[in-house]
Structure 1
Amino acid sequence: MPSNIIHIDVTNFPIAVERVVEPRLRSRPVAVAIAAAAGPLVLAASEEAQQNGVHRGQALAKARGFCHDLTVLPPNEGLYQRASAALIRVLSEFTPVLEPLRFGHAYLDVGTGRLFGGVTDTAAKVQHEIQQRLRLGAAAGIAGNKLVSKVASDFVTSRGERCGLHGVERGAEEMFLAPLRVSFLPGVDRKIRQELQELNIQLNRELAVIPVEQLQMIFGRFGLLLHQRAKGIDPRPVQPPKRAAEIVEIEQLDEASNDYYLLQSRLFNMLARAAQRLRTSHLRTGRLTIQVHYSDYKENTAQQRFQPLDTDIELTPMAKNVLAHALTRRVRVRRLTLRLCDLAATPRQLSLFDDKDVRIDKITAALDKIRTKYGDNVIQFGQAFKIDGRLNRCDLTCGK
């Protein structure tokens, strides 16, 4: 059965949600600003603010210069997460084949859409439910694949239609894309646009006629993707999020920081808690992932695979290495997320040829008993403490 995909876009999601909570913000120029090393930056701007020259990524001081009556709000990530979860609950009532993206965006594969009267009627019904139940306006794009449905919703919002709907018939994908600027295509960032402009390519119709071999010579493997996207080709299915078993620890910093030793200290504390949860569940992990959330709301992830382990003593070197690879920017960090993945049951008996130091297990068992009785923080690795800007070199530190 051919796919019919709807892309839902709640434009300026943070601003839209803030206005639901505080209606007095409606029709006012509003921006959500975040802390950054070079000064506060605009994370999101309302249409009224954009009309005055305010845009995402702009320095807040410059934004205030363009718009003197700008209302500035700090980001409320808890609110945005709750609103996003509510949005997903509404969308899941229309299809189980649902792929959430960042806040306020999602793909839905509704098949024929006959249950709600057809695909266009289904999209309109989705928009109506979002408006009625969440008081949020949503644009919708309909097409036979994810790429074109996303461009269709972007096309709607580019015309200022926050609640508009645009459908692209199957087989008409390239015709729809042809007159649009190449900036509508996913992955065409500023650098790619500049390179295309040097080739005198501004519209998708101009890009679509360039031989794929020539695009690959210029852009490498991305050249093939550019060629396919300009023609509206996208074989990717809508993929509901996988719910593989994992142990997750999240550390929200009271104040964003780029102090490596502080971040490492927090990570080791997270690892101690996660490893104890592993052992309590009689599990081992074979993959450690760290996600760094920067103060400008960009993220980076790194991971390492290894033979299954279950003690923080063994996992600490891996965590330290992964953190070093995850920290690729000098921007302050606001949150760390640690995931222990590829979980497997702990064998009941050690192999005769297992070269693991049994003392590690004995030390770990003793620490678990103490932590269970007196709390997680009563004993920690010395590396989890900062002293005069450097990490303590002791192996273990006992709390008082």
Structure 2
Amino acid sequence: MDRSVFHVRLQNFEVQAERILDASLRTRPIAVISSHHQNGTIIALSTEAKAEGLCQGMKVSLARKIGHSALLMPYNSTLYARMHHYVTRIVTNYSPLVEPTVFGQYYLDMSGMEAIHRSRTQAGYHISNDIHGKAGLAGQIGISANKLVSHIATIVTPEKIHKVNVGDESKFLAPLTAEVLPTVREQSIQKLVRFLHLKEVQHIQNIVTNETVSLVLFRKYHVQLAREAWGKDTSMVTPPTQKDHIVEQVILKQDTNDETQLRAVTKHLAEQVAFRLRYKQQVARSITVAVHYIDGYQFNKTDTATQNDNHTISTLCLDLLQRANRRRNRIRAVVIDATNMKPIANQLMLFRNNGVNNRALASAMDTVRTKYGFDSIQSAAHLNITR
């Protein structure tokens, strides 16, 4: 039985959600922005806003000068999350294996559904019409034998439904720009591809055919890049699972690369994570700090914590921030994710040391925060966070 993977992409999801909430916006040029600060950027925009010269990633200060009639709307994460969850429930009616990704994008494993739908294309139309009828959202659906090709199909084709037949993956990818391949977005590969003027996927296909040359050029990325260039992907559609983890994140009021500001934000998030760990009487064997840049890139680093006091968690997270922040671009968001929880048993010490003092201080702060709220007592570093 051939695999059949659908990728649903609801174009300009944020703009469509705003227009559903307010019908008066349906013919007006609008742009969803990260913040109203002049360094904020455009995240999504309508066709009318594009006609005025605005584009995704443009600075808010420049957008205000160019698009005088365009309405700049703040990012409404609560609205988008609710719409995203609602659409997930709709597409779950068509397959038991649904993997929601970012807002407005979903993978469906439709393998073995031939007995229900006459054809895969017909199933795609049913799903698209159902989403539009129940949620009022429009988009594209890519159909192929794997997630990679289906995802790319919704990026490059304007058709409502686009199907790539089994065996035609390499032909479909060949004329496309090289940037559609995920591995090409790796910084080192991106520089190499530009230097060698490998503008299309077929140019990469020609190189990876010669394994010796490809290994010299792409080194550790050779195998993955070769698979992507020929349209091969064995990753499965994985429904979301409930993980025992603690996530704290913040979208900065102002995009910045100021080290003092970033360390203050990270320390505040780390104390929130530590507070929740102590409440559960657990320690996280895996703590990840991720930084999200204004151009969409993100980097993260992971390490292990042995204690759950503020000093231990904060020191670890600040070190991970320094290792993860490898670019000069401004940062939009910082995320701390603690997973792999284990119970913790603090051994009583005969003599006081720094570890005992840190745990005693954390316990005293927890007492105040439990009674009066987390923000009732803060470290001095919190004063460096921009309001």
Which bracket does the TM-score occupy, shorter chain normalised? 0.7 to 0.9
The separation in 2 between residues aligned to 1:217 and 1:78, in whole angstroms, is 48
Give the CA deviation at 1:112: 1.8
Give the CA deviation at 1:174: 1.9
Q: Aligned partner of 1:288: which letter?
A: I
Whether the 8 Å contact between 1:183 and 1:189 is mirrored in structure 2 is yes
Of 172, 178, 187, the residue aligned with 1:176 is 172
Distance 1:165 1:265, change over 3 A: same
Whether the 8 Å contact between 1:36 and 1:332 is mirrored in structure 2 is no
The separation in 1 between residues aligned to 2:294 and 2:177, in whole angstroms, is 31
Residue 133 of structure 2 is aligned to residue 132 of structure 1: yes
Whether the 8 Å contact between 1:13 and 1:103 is mirrored in structure 2 is yes
Give the CA deviation at 1:318: 0.9
Q: Partner of 1:316: helix, strand, or coil? A: helix
Whether the 8 Å contact between 1:33 and 1:60 is mirrored in structure 2 is yes
**What are the ranges of 5 or more consecutive residues in structure 1 without an aligned counterpart?**
390-400
How does the TM-score come out when normalised to structure 1? 0.79
Q: Aligned partner of 1:208: which letter?
A: Q
Report the aligned-residue RMSD: 3.6
Distance 1:21 1:171, change over 3 A: same
Q: Partner of 2:290: helix, strand, or coil? A: strand
Give the CA deviation at 1:167: 1.0
User: What's the counterpart of residue 104 of structure 2?
Assistant: 104
Identity rate, percent: 28
The separation in 1 between residues aligned to 2:356 and 2:55, in whole angstroms, is 58
Q: Aligned partner of 2:141: which letter?
A: A
Q: Aligned partner of 1:136: which letter?
A: L
User: What's the counterpart of residue 120 of structure 2?
Assistant: 119
Q: Over residues 309-343 of structure 1, what are the superposed CA-to-partner deviations in whole Å (9 max), with x where a residue is unaligned?
A: 22223323212212323444455555433222220
Q: Partner of 1:166: helix, strand, or coil? A: strand
Distance 1:195 1:262, change over 3 A: closer
The separation in 2 between residues aligned to 1:185 and 1:147, in whole angstroms, is 9
User: What's the counterpart of residue 207 of structure 1?
Assistant: 204
Residue 324 of structure 2 is aligned to residue 323 of structure 1: no
User: What's the counterpart of residue 310 of structure 2?
Assistant: 312
Give the CA deviation at 1:380: 4.2
Q: Over residues 10-48 of structure 1, what are the superposed CA-to-partner deviations in whole Å (9 max), with x where a residue is unaligned?
A: 112222222222333334443333459974433223234
How does the TM-score come out when normalised to structure 2? 0.82
User: What's the counterpart of residue 366 of structure 2?
Assistant: 368
The separation in 2 between residues aligned to 1:340 and 1:218, in whole angstroms, is 37
Whether the 8 Å contact between 2:365 and 2:377 is mirrored in structure 1 is yes
Give the CA deviation at 1:81: 2.2
The separation in 2 between residues aligned to 1:24 and 1:179, in whole angstroms, is 41
Q: Partner of 1:6: helix, strand, or coil? A: strand
Q: How many residues align?
A: 380
Give the CA deviation at 1:363: 4.4
Whether the 8 Å contact between 1:179 and 1:204 is mirrored in structure 2 is yes
Q: Aligned partner of 2:164: which letter?
A: V
Q: Partner of 1:153: helix, strand, or coil? A: helix
Distance 1:188 1:258, change over 3 A: closer
Q: Partner of 1:325: helix, strand, or coil? A: helix
Residue 80 of structure 2 is aligned to residue 80 of structure 1: yes
Whether the 8 Å contact between 1:249 and 1:274 is mirrored in structure 2 is yes
Q: Aligned partner of 1:120: which letter?
A: T
User: What's the counterpart of residue 91 of structure 2?
Assistant: 91
The separation in 1 between residues aligned to 2:317 and 2:195, in whole angstroms, is 44
User: What's the counterpart of residue 155 of structure 2?
Assistant: 154
The separation in 2 between residues aligned to 1:246 and 1:61, in whole angstroms, is 38
Give the CA deviation at 1:6: 0.3
Residue 56 of structure 2 is aligned to residue 56 of structure 1: yes
Give the CA deviation at 1:56: 1.7
Whether the 8 Å contact between 2:39 and 2:254 is mirrored in structure 1 is no
Q: Partner of 2:291: helix, strand, or coil? A: strand
Higher alpha-carbon Rg: 1
> Which has a greater percent of helix?
2
Whether the 8 Å contact between 1:30 and 1:48 is mirrored in structure 2 is yes
The separation in 2 between residues aligned to 1:329 and 1:189, in whole angstroms, is 15
